[in-house]
Amino acid sequence: MSRVPPEPLRGRGSLSLPDNRFEREEREFVSEEGTPPALDNATRLIPETARTIITENESPDVGFSRSINPYRGCEHGCIYCYARPSHATVGLSPGLDFERRILFKKEAPALLEKELSRRNYEPIPLALGVNTDAYQPAEESLRLTRGLLEVLDRANHPVILISKSSLIERDLDLLSSMAQRRLVHVHISIPTLNDDLSHRLEPRATTPTRRLETLRRLAEARIPVGVLVAPVIPGLTCHELESILSRSREAGALSAEYSLLRLPLEVRDLFIEWLERHFPVKSQAVLSRLRDYHGGKVYEGRFGVRMRGEGKMAELLARRMDIATRRLNYPGMARLDTQQFRAPLRHFSSRLFPDFTP
Protein backbone atom coordinates (compact mmCIF):
# COMPACT_ATOMS: atom_id res chain seq x y z
CA MET A 1 0.00 0.00 0.00
CA SER A 2 1.30 3.45 -0.92
CA ARG A 3 2.67 5.68 1.82
CA VAL A 4 2.90 9.39 1.08
CA PRO A 5 5.16 11.52 3.30
CA PRO A 6 3.94 15.05 4.05
CA GLU A 7 6.90 16.47 2.11
CA PRO A 8 9.23 14.94 -0.50
CA LEU A 9 12.28 13.28 1.02
CA ARG A 10 15.43 15.29 0.51
CA GLY A 11 16.97 14.55 -2.88
CA ARG A 12 14.26 12.10 -3.96
CA GLY A 13 11.88 12.30 -6.89
CA SER A 14 9.24 9.80 -5.84
CA LEU A 15 6.91 10.75 -3.01
CA SER A 16 5.89 7.24 -2.01
CA LEU A 17 6.77 3.60 -1.67
CA PRO A 18 4.05 1.60 -3.45
CA ASP A 19 4.20 -2.18 -3.36
CA ASN A 20 5.28 -3.73 -6.62
CA ARG A 21 2.64 -5.24 -8.89
CA PHE A 22 3.75 -8.83 -8.24
CA GLU A 23 3.01 -8.75 -4.52
CA ARG A 24 0.00 -10.80 -3.41
CA GLU A 25 -0.44 -8.84 -0.21
CA GLU A 26 -0.75 -5.13 0.50
CA ARG A 27 1.12 -3.80 3.52
CA GLU A 28 0.75 -0.67 5.56
CA PHE A 29 3.20 0.31 8.27
CA VAL A 30 2.06 2.43 11.18
CA SER A 31 3.61 3.43 14.48
CA GLU A 32 2.03 2.96 17.89
CA GLU A 33 0.58 6.44 17.48
CA GLY A 34 -1.20 5.29 14.32
CA THR A 35 0.91 7.36 11.92
CA PRO A 36 3.34 6.13 9.26
CA PRO A 37 6.94 6.02 10.49
CA ALA A 38 9.61 8.11 8.82
CA LEU A 39 10.96 6.52 5.65
CA ASP A 40 14.61 5.53 5.43
CA ASN A 41 16.34 7.93 3.04
CA ALA A 42 19.71 6.19 2.91
CA THR A 43 21.01 4.80 -0.38
CA ARG A 44 22.10 1.15 -0.32
CA LEU A 45 24.23 -0.50 -3.00
CA ILE A 46 23.35 -4.16 -3.51
CA PRO A 47 25.59 -6.52 -5.52
CA GLU A 48 23.72 -8.52 -8.14
CA THR A 49 24.97 -11.74 -9.69
CA ALA A 50 24.53 -11.89 -13.45
CA ARG A 51 25.31 -14.65 -15.92
CA THR A 52 25.35 -12.40 -18.98
CA ILE A 53 25.81 -8.67 -19.49
CA ILE A 54 24.62 -7.95 -23.06
CA THR A 55 20.87 -7.56 -23.55
CA GLU A 56 19.24 -8.04 -26.95
CA ASN A 57 16.62 -5.49 -27.98
CA GLU A 58 14.17 -5.79 -30.87
CA SER A 59 12.36 -2.46 -30.42
CA PRO A 60 12.07 -0.48 -33.68
CA ASP A 61 11.86 2.74 -31.63
CA VAL A 62 15.54 2.91 -30.68
CA GLY A 63 18.71 3.00 -32.73
CA PHE A 64 20.45 0.00 -31.22
CA SER A 65 19.81 -3.71 -30.78
CA ARG A 66 22.23 -4.54 -27.96
CA SER A 67 22.74 -2.81 -24.64
CA ILE A 68 24.59 -3.09 -21.33
CA ASN A 69 23.19 -1.86 -18.03
CA PRO A 70 25.64 -2.20 -15.12
CA TYR A 71 23.09 -0.74 -12.68
CA ARG A 72 19.46 -1.45 -11.84
CA GLY A 73 17.73 1.52 -10.22
CA CYS A 74 19.10 5.05 -10.30
CA GLU A 75 19.86 7.56 -7.58
CA HIS A 76 19.23 10.46 -9.94
CA GLY A 77 15.59 9.95 -8.95
CA CYS A 78 14.00 11.07 -12.23
CA ILE A 79 10.28 10.84 -11.55
CA TYR A 80 9.54 10.19 -15.23
CA CYS A 81 11.98 7.27 -15.63
CA TYR A 82 10.40 4.50 -17.71
CA ALA A 83 12.77 1.98 -16.10
CA ARG A 84 11.10 2.24 -12.67
CA PRO A 85 8.78 -0.77 -13.21
CA SER A 86 11.82 -3.06 -13.56
CA HIS A 87 12.41 -2.79 -9.80
CA ALA A 88 9.20 -4.72 -9.22
CA THR A 89 10.75 -7.77 -10.88
CA VAL A 90 13.27 -8.08 -8.03
CA GLY A 91 10.74 -7.54 -5.24
CA LEU A 92 11.39 -3.83 -4.74
CA SER A 93 9.19 -0.76 -5.12
CA PRO A 94 9.31 1.28 -8.34
CA GLY A 95 8.89 4.33 -6.08
CA LEU A 96 11.50 5.27 -3.53
CA ASP A 97 13.24 1.88 -3.71
CA PHE A 98 14.19 2.60 -7.32
CA GLU A 99 16.20 5.59 -6.08
CA ARG A 100 17.63 4.25 -2.81
CA ARG A 101 18.18 0.51 -3.51
CA ILE A 102 20.73 0.40 -6.32
CA LEU A 103 21.66 -3.02 -7.66
CA PHE A 104 24.96 -3.35 -9.50
CA LYS A 105 26.41 -6.14 -11.61
CA LYS A 106 29.70 -6.62 -9.81
CA GLU A 107 31.31 -8.77 -12.51
CA ALA A 108 30.18 -6.67 -15.48
CA PRO A 109 33.62 -6.02 -17.09
CA ALA A 110 34.67 -9.68 -16.73
CA LEU A 111 31.36 -10.83 -18.20
CA LEU A 112 31.77 -8.44 -21.13
CA GLU A 113 35.26 -9.77 -21.84
CA LYS A 114 33.85 -13.29 -21.85
CA GLU A 115 31.00 -12.45 -24.22
CA LEU A 116 33.19 -10.50 -26.64
CA SER A 117 35.63 -13.43 -26.74
CA ARG A 118 33.07 -15.92 -28.01
CA ARG A 119 34.06 -17.47 -31.32
CA ASN A 120 30.83 -16.48 -33.09
CA TYR A 121 30.53 -12.97 -31.64
CA GLU A 122 29.62 -10.34 -34.26
CA PRO A 123 30.39 -6.71 -33.30
CA ILE A 124 27.64 -4.14 -33.55
CA PRO A 125 27.45 -0.91 -31.48
CA LEU A 126 26.58 -1.50 -27.84
CA ALA A 127 24.43 1.06 -26.00
CA LEU A 128 25.75 1.55 -22.46
CA GLY A 129 23.47 2.79 -19.68
CA VAL A 130 20.25 3.29 -21.62
CA ASN A 131 17.94 1.80 -18.99
CA THR A 132 19.46 3.59 -16.00
CA ASP A 133 22.33 6.07 -16.15
CA ALA A 134 25.76 4.41 -16.33
CA TYR A 135 27.22 7.53 -14.68
CA GLN A 136 24.86 7.76 -11.72
CA PRO A 137 26.43 8.53 -8.30
CA ALA A 138 27.30 4.87 -7.53
CA GLU A 139 29.66 4.85 -10.51
CA GLU A 140 32.04 7.25 -8.78
CA SER A 141 33.06 4.55 -6.33
CA LEU A 142 32.22 1.31 -8.16
CA ARG A 143 33.72 2.33 -11.54
CA LEU A 144 31.86 -0.39 -13.44
CA THR A 145 31.25 1.86 -16.44
CA ARG A 146 34.94 2.72 -16.51
CA GLY A 147 35.77 -0.99 -16.48
CA LEU A 148 33.34 -1.71 -19.31
CA LEU A 149 34.80 1.10 -21.42
CA GLU A 150 38.30 -0.26 -20.85
CA VAL A 151 37.18 -3.63 -22.23
CA LEU A 152 35.53 -2.00 -25.25
CA ASP A 153 38.57 0.21 -25.83
CA ARG A 154 40.98 -2.76 -25.90
CA ALA A 155 38.64 -4.65 -28.22
CA ASN A 156 38.11 -1.69 -30.58
CA HIS A 157 34.39 -2.14 -30.03
CA PRO A 158 31.95 0.73 -30.78
CA VAL A 159 29.73 2.05 -27.99
CA ILE A 160 26.85 4.51 -27.58
CA LEU A 161 26.57 6.36 -24.26
CA ILE A 162 23.54 8.24 -22.92
CA SER A 163 23.89 10.23 -19.71
CA LYS A 164 22.83 13.30 -17.77
CA SER A 165 25.85 13.31 -15.47
CA SER A 166 29.02 15.37 -15.54
CA LEU A 167 30.84 12.32 -14.15
CA ILE A 168 31.30 11.22 -17.74
CA GLU A 169 34.11 13.81 -17.94
CA ARG A 170 36.21 11.50 -15.73
CA ASP A 171 36.56 9.19 -18.72
CA LEU A 172 37.57 11.80 -21.29
CA ASP A 173 40.87 10.01 -21.82
CA LEU A 174 39.21 6.77 -22.92
CA LEU A 175 36.40 8.45 -24.84
CA SER A 176 38.78 10.75 -26.71
CA SER A 177 40.98 7.82 -27.73
CA MET A 178 37.97 5.81 -28.88
CA ALA A 179 36.58 8.80 -30.76
CA GLN A 180 39.75 8.98 -32.85
CA ARG A 181 38.93 5.44 -34.04
CA ARG A 182 35.23 6.21 -34.61
CA LEU A 183 34.22 3.95 -31.73
CA VAL A 184 32.01 6.19 -29.60
CA HIS A 185 28.92 8.40 -29.68
CA VAL A 186 27.73 10.28 -26.59
CA HIS A 187 24.23 11.69 -26.05
CA ILE A 188 23.59 14.13 -23.20
CA SER A 189 19.98 14.11 -21.96
CA ILE A 190 18.51 17.58 -21.30
CA PRO A 191 14.71 17.72 -20.80
CA THR A 192 14.70 21.27 -19.42
CA LEU A 193 16.99 24.29 -19.02
CA ASN A 194 15.20 25.38 -15.85
CA ASP A 195 17.43 24.42 -12.91
CA ASP A 196 14.58 24.61 -10.39
CA LEU A 197 12.31 22.38 -12.45
CA SER A 198 15.19 19.99 -13.08
CA HIS A 199 15.83 19.73 -9.33
CA ARG A 200 12.23 18.59 -8.84
CA LEU A 201 12.11 16.29 -11.88
CA GLU A 202 15.53 14.66 -11.47
CA PRO A 203 16.75 15.72 -8.00
CA ARG A 204 20.21 14.14 -7.92
CA ALA A 205 21.16 14.59 -11.56
CA THR A 206 23.63 17.17 -12.82
CA THR A 207 22.00 20.58 -13.35
CA PRO A 208 21.08 21.54 -16.93
CA THR A 209 23.63 24.38 -16.88
CA ARG A 210 26.38 21.95 -15.92
CA ARG A 211 25.21 19.43 -18.51
CA LEU A 212 25.68 22.00 -21.25
CA GLU A 213 29.22 22.53 -19.98
CA THR A 214 29.80 18.77 -20.08
CA LEU A 215 28.52 18.71 -23.65
CA ARG A 216 30.93 21.52 -24.50
CA ARG A 217 33.91 19.74 -22.92
CA LEU A 218 33.15 16.54 -24.79
CA ALA A 219 32.92 18.44 -28.06
CA GLU A 220 36.20 20.24 -27.35
CA ALA A 221 37.81 16.83 -26.82
CA ARG A 222 36.59 15.88 -30.34
CA ILE A 223 34.17 13.30 -28.99
CA PRO A 224 31.00 13.08 -31.16
CA VAL A 225 28.24 14.30 -28.86
CA GLY A 226 24.56 15.01 -29.32
CA VAL A 227 21.62 16.20 -27.25
CA LEU A 228 18.63 14.08 -26.30
CA VAL A 229 15.60 16.20 -25.40
CA ALA A 230 13.91 13.59 -23.26
CA PRO A 231 11.33 13.47 -22.08
CA VAL A 232 9.30 16.25 -23.64
CA ILE A 233 6.51 16.87 -21.13
CA PRO A 234 3.47 18.57 -22.71
CA GLY A 235 2.40 21.63 -20.75
CA LEU A 236 5.55 21.61 -18.61
CA THR A 237 8.71 21.48 -20.75
CA CYS A 238 7.54 21.29 -24.38
CA HIS A 239 7.94 25.05 -24.87
CA GLU A 240 11.70 24.69 -24.22
CA LEU A 241 12.43 22.48 -27.24
CA GLU A 242 13.93 25.18 -29.46
CA SER A 243 15.93 26.74 -26.61
CA ILE A 244 17.47 23.41 -25.62
CA LEU A 245 18.40 22.68 -29.24
CA SER A 246 19.91 26.14 -29.69
CA ARG A 247 21.99 26.08 -26.50
CA SER A 248 23.16 22.53 -27.20
CA ARG A 249 24.23 23.37 -30.75
CA GLU A 250 26.19 26.35 -29.42
CA ALA A 251 27.95 23.98 -27.02
CA GLY A 252 28.97 21.67 -29.87
CA ALA A 253 26.20 19.08 -30.23
CA LEU A 254 26.28 17.35 -33.61
CA SER A 255 22.96 15.53 -33.42
CA ALA A 256 19.59 15.96 -31.72
CA GLU A 257 16.75 13.59 -30.86
CA TYR A 258 13.66 13.80 -28.69
CA SER A 259 11.14 11.50 -27.06
CA LEU A 260 7.77 12.10 -25.47
CA LEU A 261 7.02 11.46 -21.80
CA ARG A 262 6.25 7.75 -21.25
CA LEU A 263 4.18 6.57 -18.28
CA PRO A 264 4.09 2.75 -18.34
CA LEU A 265 2.75 0.70 -15.43
CA GLU A 266 3.64 2.18 -12.00
CA VAL A 267 5.25 5.28 -13.51
CA ARG A 268 1.80 6.67 -14.30
CA ASP A 269 0.61 6.96 -10.70
CA LEU A 270 4.03 8.03 -9.42
CA PHE A 271 4.22 10.85 -11.95
CA ILE A 272 0.64 12.01 -11.33
CA GLU A 273 1.33 12.02 -7.58
CA TRP A 274 4.48 14.09 -8.18
CA LEU A 275 2.65 16.45 -10.52
CA GLU A 276 -0.16 17.10 -8.05
CA ARG A 277 2.38 17.80 -5.30
CA HIS A 278 4.68 20.14 -7.21
CA PHE A 279 2.33 21.68 -9.81
CA PRO A 280 -1.23 21.34 -8.49
CA VAL A 281 -2.55 24.17 -10.65
CA LYS A 282 -1.01 22.77 -13.85
CA SER A 283 -1.51 19.07 -13.19
CA GLN A 284 -4.80 18.56 -15.02
CA ALA A 285 -3.66 20.67 -17.96
CA VAL A 286 -0.44 18.64 -18.30
CA LEU A 287 -2.34 15.34 -18.27
CA SER A 288 -4.92 16.69 -20.72
CA ARG A 289 -2.21 17.74 -23.17
CA LEU A 290 -0.49 14.38 -22.80
CA ARG A 291 -3.76 12.66 -23.73
CA ASP A 292 -3.81 14.74 -26.92
CA TYR A 293 -0.77 12.73 -28.05
CA HIS A 294 -2.29 9.34 -27.26
CA GLY A 295 -5.87 9.43 -28.47
CA GLY A 296 -7.30 10.35 -25.09
CA LYS A 297 -5.06 8.06 -23.03
CA VAL A 298 -2.23 9.08 -20.72
CA TYR A 299 0.03 6.38 -22.20
CA GLU A 300 0.12 4.30 -25.34
CA GLY A 301 2.61 1.44 -25.40
CA ARG A 302 2.56 0.56 -29.11
CA PHE A 303 5.87 0.59 -30.96
CA GLY A 304 6.15 3.64 -33.19
CA VAL A 305 3.79 5.61 -30.96
CA ARG A 306 4.96 5.31 -27.36
CA MET A 307 7.96 7.62 -27.80
CA ARG A 308 6.51 10.18 -30.23
CA GLY A 309 2.74 10.04 -29.90
CA GLU A 310 0.33 10.39 -32.81
CA GLY A 311 -2.18 12.89 -34.12
CA LYS A 312 -1.98 16.62 -34.74
CA MET A 313 -0.04 17.50 -31.59
CA ALA A 314 2.56 14.82 -32.28
CA GLU A 315 2.88 16.03 -35.87
CA LEU A 316 3.36 19.59 -34.65
CA LEU A 317 6.10 18.55 -32.20
CA ALA A 318 7.90 16.58 -34.91
CA ARG A 319 7.64 19.57 -37.25
CA ARG A 320 9.08 21.90 -34.62
CA MET A 321 11.99 19.52 -34.14
CA ASP A 322 12.66 19.30 -37.87
CA ILE A 323 12.54 23.07 -38.41
CA ALA A 324 14.81 23.80 -35.44
CA THR A 325 17.48 21.22 -36.29
CA ARG A 326 17.57 22.40 -39.91
CA ARG A 327 17.82 26.05 -38.87
CA LEU A 328 20.60 25.27 -36.40
CA ASN A 329 22.42 23.14 -38.98
CA TYR A 330 22.87 19.98 -36.94
CA PRO A 331 25.24 17.91 -39.09
CA GLY A 332 24.74 14.50 -37.46
CA MET A 333 27.42 11.99 -36.46
CA ALA A 334 29.66 9.79 -38.58
CA ARG A 335 28.82 6.09 -38.57
CA LEU A 336 30.56 4.00 -35.92
CA ASP A 337 33.21 1.57 -37.15
CA THR A 338 32.77 -2.15 -36.43
CA GLN A 339 35.60 -3.35 -38.68
CA GLN A 340 38.42 -2.77 -36.16
CA PHE A 341 37.07 -5.21 -33.57
CA ARG A 342 39.37 -7.82 -32.06
CA ALA A 343 38.48 -10.21 -29.26
CA PRO A 344 39.97 -8.93 -25.98
CA LEU A 345 42.49 -10.83 -23.91
CA ARG A 346 41.23 -11.69 -20.44
CA HIS A 347 42.21 -8.94 -18.05
CA PHE A 348 39.60 -8.72 -15.28
CA SER A 349 39.39 -11.30 -12.51
CA SER A 350 36.18 -13.29 -12.18
CA ARG A 351 35.33 -11.47 -8.95
CA LEU A 352 35.84 -7.72 -8.79
CA PHE A 353 34.32 -7.20 -5.37
CA PRO A 354 35.19 -10.30 -3.29
CA ASP A 355 35.01 -8.51 0.04
CA PHE A 356 32.03 -6.26 -0.70
CA THR A 357 29.14 -6.29 1.78
CA PRO A 358 25.99 -4.23 1.21
pLDDT one-digit tens code per residue, 275-331: 999 999 999 999 999 999 999 999 988 888 888 999 999 999 999 999 999 999 999
* Residue of 268, 287, 225 whose CA lies nearest to 250: 225
Residue 37 has pLDDT above 70, yes or no: no
pLDDT confidence bin for 345, thresholds 50/70/90: confident
Question: Is it the case that residue 29 has pLDDT exceeding 70?
Answer: no
- In this prediction, residue 78 has a pLDDT band, given cuts at 50, 70 and 90, of very high
Torsion of CA 287, 293, 295, 296, to 10 degrees: 10
Q: Which residue from 258, 264, 256 is spatially nearest to 294, judged by alpha carbons?
A: 264
Separation of alpha carbons 290 and 97, rounded Å = 27
Instruction: Please state the domain extents for the chain.
Output: 44-327
Distance of CA 260 to the CA centre of its chain: 14
Instruction: List beta partners, residue 162.
Output: 187
Angle between helices 144-154 and 108-116 in degrees, nearest 10 = 20
Q: What are phi and psi of 165, to 5 degrees?
A: -120, 140
User: What separation in angstroms does the CA of 147 have from each of 141, 142, 180, 280, 349?
Assistant: 12, 9, 20, 44, 12
Most confident of 19-28, 134-143, 340-349: 134-143
**Model confidence over 168-226: pLDDT tens digits?**
999 999 999 999 999 999 999 999 999 999 999 999 999 999 999 999 999 999 999 99
Q: How confident is the model at residue 5 (pLDDT cuts 50, 70, 90)?
A: very low
C-alpha–C-alpha distance, residues 165 and 155, integer Å: 25
Instruction: Report the alpha-carbon distance of residue 50 to residue 106 in Å, rounded.
Output: 8
pLDDT grade for 28, boundaries at 50, 70 and 90: low
* Residue 137 pLDDT exceeds 90: yes
| Dist. CA 17–CA 110, nearest whole Å | 34
Euclidean distance between CA atoms 323 and 75, whole angstroms: 35
**Homologous superfamily of 44-327 in CATH?**
Aldolase class I (3.20.20.70)
DSSP letter string, 27-87: -----TTSSPPPPP---EEEEE--S--EEE---TTSS-SEEE-SEES-TT--TT-TTGGGG
Residue 192's pLDDT is 98
Show Cβ contacts of residue 118 under 8 Å, excluding neighbours closer than 6 positions. none
